[in-house]
Amino acid sequence: MVDVPYYRSHEIQGFAPPEAYVAAVREGYRERGHGAPAEPRTLLTNADPPGLLTGYMAILPERGVMGGYTYAAGFGDRDAHFVLPLFDSESGRPLAVFDGASLNPFKTGAAGAVGVDTLARDDVTTVGLFGSGAQARGQLRAISTVRDVERVNVYSPTSDHRETFAARMNDELDATVAAVASPAAAVEGSDVVITATDASEPVFDGDLLEPGTHVTAMGQYHPEKREVDATTVERATYVPDLRARIHQDAGAFMLAREEGVIDDEHVHAELGEVVAGTVEGRTSEDEITLFDSGGTAIETVAAAHMLYERASERDLGRTISFAPASEAME
């Protein structure tokens, strides 16, 4: 039998600061840039009751870990449940199991921050943010660790939501966070534009992007959904988390390709290639860059390993046992 810790969501929530997630995720993508295996999500949907089951995997051999995410959303419970197993990449033995819901905004925010740190200009001060939920908070907390953000203009369709979000983040961050009344007000004058929504249609007009803007789009992982329009994709140096997603679930890219404004050659590089330095990222101050962050097990495994190392130094979690196949199938 192999005894491993099981970490509950409340035990790891707030357990590590955003900068720790960013550092771990950066290293994960650096490994990917040097060839670490990772695949986009597999998505299964059900009509009655409506819901989805999805998961993705990655191996980070330098860190000595592998694993992934599996989660169910919708169905009769109309909620989401996340399970995250972490394995040793040399022996294959399980190291830990996480109730992974609480770390989701942190690891996804960290991926966005790595995209900003890799592709955005150094002199970023103003951020335009679309969304007012947990993922928007995660993006904003993480980007604040890699750039000296002075102002955030946040837009979401419901005024109460954006105003409550702005008040909460104003108290938490050094930057001035203001709710704005239109998508254009969020984009105009912003050095970085972040979309953290569940929108099916573009949330802003790509013609409004000013030269030198960086865009992080993190809510588009369905072939028929997009947060950013074809104009944004066409104008930008396009960097996805995984190149294979352009044939599977990178909705903004796929729909722009259908409209004929780009082809597959429009992919500049994967994020990991830029982080690893094997492909150059931004080449000019006026260049528009776009990080398409659909979610991968790269950031998930990297973040889980960081938490596992920290938790191992404390008395956290419950112990559960796994029987190796050689024992279980005797």
What SS3 class is residue 88? strand
Residue 10 has pLDDT above 90, yes or no: no
Per-residue confidence band for 60, with pLDDT thresholds at 50, 70 and 90: very high
Cis, bond preceding 17 (omega within 30 deg of 0):
no
Q: What is the mean pLDDT of the chain?
A: 95
Q: CA–CA separation, 198 vs 208, rounded Å? A: 21
Specify which residues 88 forms β-bridges with: 65
Q: Token pair for residue 180?
A: 């704005």
Residue 325 has pLDDT above 80, yes or no: yes
pLDDT of residue 11: 87
Specify which residues 76 forms β-bridges with: none
Per-residue confidence band for 328, with pLDDT thresholds at 50, 70 and 90: confident
Q: How many CB atoms are located within 10 Å of the residue 178 CB?
A: 16
For the chain, which domains are there?
2-104+298-328 (3.30.1780.10), 120-295 (3.40.50.720)
Residue 65 has pLDDT above 90, yes or no: yes
| DSSP category for residue 251 | H
The residue assigned the tokens 């994709």 is: 233
- Are 176 and 150 in contact by the 8 Å Cβ rule? The answer is yes
Residue 316 has pLDDT above 90, yes or no: no
- For the chain, what percent of residues have pLDDT higher than 70? 100
pLDDT of residue 224: 86
- Are 209 and 228 in contact by the 8 Å Cβ rule? The answer is no
The total number of residues shown for the chain amounts to 330
DSSP secondary structure string for all residues of 261-304: S--GGGB---HHHHHHTSS----STT--EEEE----HHHHHHHH
- For the chain, what percent of residues have pLDDT higher than 90? 89
pTM: 0.95
pLDDT of residue 222: 86
Give the chain's largest Cα–Cα span: 66
For 248-266, how does the pLDDT look when each residue is reduced to its tens digit (9 = 90+)?
999 999 999 999 999 999 9
Read off the pLDDT of each residue in 290-311 and give the average, rounded to a whole number: 96
Burial class (CB in 10 A: 0-12, 13-18, 19+), 185: middle
- Are 217 and 228 in contact by the 8 Å Cβ rule? The answer is yes
Per-residue confidence band for 329, with pLDDT thresholds at 50, 70 and 90: confident
For the chain, the straight-line distance linking the first and the last C-alpha, in angstroms and rounded, comes to 13
Q: How many CB atoms are located within 10 Å of the residue 132 CB?
A: 25
pLDDT of residue 257: 97
Residue 313 has pLDDT above 90, yes or no: no
For 116-157, how does the pLDDT look when each residue is reduced to its tens digit (9 = 90+)?
999 999 999 999 999 999 999 999 999 999 999 999 999 999
